[in-house]
Structure 1
Amino acid sequence: MSIFTGSCVALVTPFKDGKVDFESFHKLIDWQIEKKTDAILIAGTTGETSTLTDDEHLALLRDAGKYINGRVPFVAGTGSNDTAYSIMLSQEAEKAGADACLIINPYYNKSTQRGIIAHITAIANAITIPVIIYNVPSRTGMNISVATIKELSKIPNVAAVKEASGDISQVTEIARVCGNDIDIYSGNDDHVLPIMAVGGKGVISVSANIIPEDMHELVASFMAGDIERARELQFKTNLVNLAMFYETNPIPVKTAMGLMGLDSGEMRLPLIEMEEANKAKLTADLKTYGLL
């Protein structure tokens, strides 16, 4: 049930006057597809999903299904620390035409490894489209273990894991233990090449919001056997990849998009404008990269 190979942009959500700006949302989708992005994630962490109202979240997923319209795979962010709520979002995403759902393990209440298995199993069993497990301990406070991912990989529609633990040893073990039972996507833009080297299929990317072609080419080069070109692009893109975390994501990427003339809109509290010293560093990096 492979969902995509390549670079999936974790798209920002543009806000204007406190509301979702669907006109800008459509422009960003069109630009991403034009610039060779291989898939689009809507309402992920970078999309400020934690501050979307229920109506906004559902409206984004429904609008994305209609507007993307099969041009590239559409991944819906439907994770929550409330299993029943995540089931509802995932079912609505499937109705909206999503090709897969991205499911985070419970944050704040956290659960145990057995609880994570029960949580993701319940969601996967409630839908027919593929599930991508999202492991990001820095956000959830709980790492999903290799053994847990192995157990979840037995579920027919649990198709992939987005690995953002930052632990290459763990990713290598997932690849060794799970083999072809689950696809691996890098959740960190600076780890794309190392993860592909152990069998990963690509990346779910923050940086692709501003450098979609380079992130696409990084993966495509590796898959075509041009390891040297992939290495060059990993080193090149790391200037941007690291800059995207000068402050909490998505503050830097929305700031960068604004500087580049891409209408990413406002940030929503509790996220605020980037500090001037960090913005100056970011601006310098964008200039060095050739984006300004």
Structure 2
Amino acid sequence: MPAQIVSAVPVPFTRDGSIDLAEYEKTLTSIEEHVTGVLIAGTTGEFPALEDDERVELFRVAAGLLGADRVIGHVGHASSRQVLRLADAAANTGITRFALLSPYYLPSDDDGVIGFFRSLTEAHPEADVYAYVFPERTGMEISVELLREVLRLPGMVGVKLSGGAADRLPEYATALGDGQELYSGDDGRLPWVVEHGGTGVVSGVSSAFPETFAALARALDDGDTDRVDELQRTVTRLVGLTGPTITRLKAALTVRTGGEWACRMSLPGVPAELRKDIDEVVARFR
């Protein structure tokens, strides 16, 4: 399978906190030819700050522009009741690929985690579901053995690893069944991900630099090691500069698209000198 780039698209807010749908559509259109698909309303999309009807509208717009089969809608919530309500609404947009963050805030156990995913797969047997593992955000480690049990549920097609879980990708890869996919949220290491059994990356930074990420994936598929090394150095720089915070990524998108790209959540600012560096790389690699 060719190396996959799934873009984790941020949500463009205006300074008054509204969603700028025109800017969102412009961004989706600009990345459409460069990426395999998109993950909507994930961590990069500040999903805790979105109302359910806003998430559904983001799903609907993405499905309309890219095709529903290229959209993974994140339906994560604190309770199965909320997950299923959101999944029902997402399914009405035509989307059949869901990502679900493991239970968060209150602690759970293995049975609770398995039951959480089972509730979605049983309610939507037509859907392809990806487990979303992010221990730093959920406060819970998912063991390889537990992931293996989750992935045995009918309808589970893969997993996305973020934070510390992404560093353990080779271990988690052993939990995959036949045909299942493994994505890393560490978008600065696509060659390493593929080498160790991954399918590709779910990349926030690719929304600002889709051409560069697409070129790296092509070089990797072509076996052009010199070109891979060259592009990997560029990607490492771009991810190091714009990847650490959503505000840095949105600073890059502001330069790329001209939109406001404000945040709803209380996130760290971008110092003037760093913003200048971001401006320069966007001008060079857009």
State whether TM-score is above 0.5. yes
- SS of the counterpart of 1:268? coil
- Deviation of 1:10 (Å): 0.6
Provide closer, same or farther for how the CA distance between residues 183 and 228 of structure 1 changes in structure 2, counting only shifts above 3 A. Answer: farther
Partner of 2:254: 258
1:90 to 87, 91, 96: 87
Question: Separation in 2 of the partners of 1:48 and 1:260?
Answer: 20
Question: Separation in 2 of the partners of 1:167 and 1:106?
Answer: 15
Partner of 2:97: 100
Partner of 2:25: 26
Question: Separation in 2 of the partners of 1:265 and 1:170?
Answer: 33
- SS of the counterpart of 1:103? strand
After superposition, what is the alpha-carbon deviation per residue over 1:118-153, rounded to whole angstroms, capped at 9, x for unaligned? 111111221121111111112111122111111112
After superposition, what is the alpha-carbon deviation per residue over 1:46-77, rounded to whole angstroms, capped at 9, x for unaligned? 1111111222122222232233335x601111
Higher mean C-alpha deviation, range 139-148 or range 222-231: 222-231
Please tell me whether residue 196 in structure 1 is matched to residue 194 in structure 2. Answer: yes
Question: Separation in 2 of the partners of 1:222 and 1:107?
Answer: 36
Please tell me whether residue 267 in structure 1 is matched to residue 263 in structure 2. Answer: yes
2:114 to 89, 113, 117: 117
Higher mean C-alpha deviation, range 176-185 or range 84-93: 176-185
After superposition, what is the alpha-carbon deviation per residue over 1:221-253, rounded to whole angstroms, capped at 9, x for unaligned? 32333344334322220111122344xx31111
Provide closer, same or farther for how the CA distance between residues 223 and 28 of structure 1 changes in structure 2, counting only shifts above 3 A. Answer: same
Question: Separation in 2 of the partners of 1:192 and 1:144?
Answer: 23
Please tell me whether residue 53 in structure 1 is matched to residue 51 in structure 2. Answer: yes
Task: Name segments (4+ residues, structure 1) moved above 6 Å.
Answer: none
Provide closer, same or farther for how the CA distance between residues 262 and 106 of structure 1 changes in structure 2, counting only shifts above 3 A. Answer: farther
- SS of the counterpart of 1:19? coil
Partner of 2:153: 155
Partner of 2:136: 138
Q: Is the 8 Å Cα contact of residues 63 and 70 (structure 2) preserved in structure 1?
A: no
- SS of the counterpart of 2:104? coil
Q: Is the 8 Å Cα contact of residues 133 and 165 (structure 2) preserved in structure 1?
A: no
Which amino acid is 1:280 matched to? Answer: E
Please tell me whether residue 284 in structure 1 is matched to residue 282 in structure 2. Answer: no
Partner of 2:181: 183
- SS of the counterpart of 1:45? coil
Provide closer, same or farther for how the CA distance between residues 80 and 156 of structure 1 changes in structure 2, counting only shifts above 3 A. Answer: same
Provide closer, same or farther for how the CA distance between residues 228 and 163 of structure 1 changes in structure 2, counting only shifts above 3 A. Answer: farther
- SS of the counterpart of 1:265? coil
Q: Is the 8 Å Cα contact of residues 105 and 138 (structure 2) preserved in structure 1?
A: yes
TM-score (norm 2): 0.89
Provide closer, same or farther for how the CA distance between residues 275 and 222 of structure 1 changes in structure 2, counting only shifts above 3 A. Answer: closer
Q: Is the 8 Å Cα contact of residues 38 and 216 (structure 1) preserved in structure 2?
A: no
Calculate the aligned-residue CA RMSD, in Å. Answer: 2.4
Aligned residue pair count:
283
Question: Separation in 2 of the partners of 1:143 and 1:193?
Answer: 25
Question: Separation in 1 of the partners of 2:134 and 2:211?
Answer: 25
TM-score (norm 1): 0.87
Q: Is the 8 Å Cα contact of residues 205 and 239 (structure 2) preserved in structure 1?
A: yes
After superposition, what is the alpha-carbon deviation per residue over 1:72-128, rounded to whole angstroms, capped at 9, x for unaligned? 601111111211111221222122122411110112113123311111111122112
